[in-house]
Amino acid sequence: MRKPIIAGNWKLNKTIAEARELAAQLTENLKGIEDREVIIAPVYTALSAVAEVLENSPIQLAAQNCYPEISGAFTGEISPQFLQDAGCQYVIIGHSERRHLMAETDHFINQKMIKVLETGLKPILCIGETLQERENNQMLEILSKQIKGGLANFTTEQMSTVVIAYEPVWAIGTGKTASTEQAQDAHFFIRGLVQELFNPEVAEQTRILYGGSVKPDNVDSLMAQQDIDGALVGGASLKAEDFIRIVQFEI
């Protein structure tokens, strides 16, 4: 059984005070939740403050990115170790906004994945095709390249804490959700690829989240799909009411 994960990516939103307030609303309403993991990813400057609010709560803390070094002369960067120090358990790696706006490559993403695991944090590796790639029938090739690149040189043991998020770029922040069939087909393909690269046990236990305009009114049907093990939620994670409903999905 794969325990579902609902993760909120707050992106570049919420001041420290606003982040505290949203986290407090979530802790208040999601007490004692055990059958699913809940993760929130505020901006770096709010991590410590939110970690304090999350103390004694089952909600876990994630960062939205990191640099693949532990410490040193890397001005303006943040390492997995410092994120752990701030109270994080998870780190989102290779989000499409970073791949496209900051030109992150699969090799760089792989280096981050390795450092995150070395530190003992859990990575959420994001992959997904653009609309043009989908229309050119390159989707499977792109997903395959991103998975093979991001997980290069990984052992089966290292895969035990890796979470994958399939986020079609054309569905992120656009209000366009992939249909349940489109999402399930992509997730089925990704799981098959993980099996090919590692083994059936790894494929069976790896959690694959869907991301791309997940909302209270589409989460139930997405979560009912066999290979969808959770959601990475952007816009709808900024409103307590919406995110709480998404966490409380029913299948």
Residue 150 near ligand PEP by CB under 6 A = no
187 among known catalytic residues: no
| CB burial string 125-164: b at 16+ within 10 A, e below | bbbbbbeebbeeeebeebbbebbebbbeebeeebbeebbb
Q: Does 208 bind ligand PEP (CB under 6 A)?
A: no
Q: Which of 141, 101, 111, 106 is nearest to 126 (CA)?
A: 106
Catalytic residue among 95, 97, 133, 187: 95
Judge whether 100 counts as a catalytic residue.
no
Q: Which of 27, 47, 26 is closest to 92 using CA atoms? A: 47
Contacts 24+ apart (CB under 8 A), 238-241: 238/8, 238/10, 238/13, 238/14, 238/22, 240/22, 240/25, 240/26, 240/29
Strand partners, 62: 90
Chain centroid offset of residue 223 CA: 15
| Nearest residue (beta carbon) to ligand PEP | 234
Tell the smallest beta-carbon distance from residue 157 to ligand PEP (Å). 28
Size, binding site for ligand PEP by CB under 6 A: 14
Is residue 211 near ligand PEP by the rule CB under 6 A? yes
Nearer to ligand PEP, 33 or 238 (CB): 238
Choice among 37, 133, 167, 187 that is catalytic: 167
Q: Could you say which of 37, 104, 133, 167 contacts ligand PEP (CB under 6 A)? A: 167
Nearer to ligand PEP (CB atom), residue 230 or residue 235: 235
CB of 156 to ligand PEP, least distance (A): 27
Binders of ligand PEP in range 6-65 (CB under 6 A): 9, 11
What is the C-alpha separation between 63 and 85, in angstroms, rounded?
A: 12
Active-site residues, by number, are: 95, 167
Q: List interacting residues with ligand PEP (CB under 6 A).
A: 9, 11, 167, 172-173, 211-214, 232-236
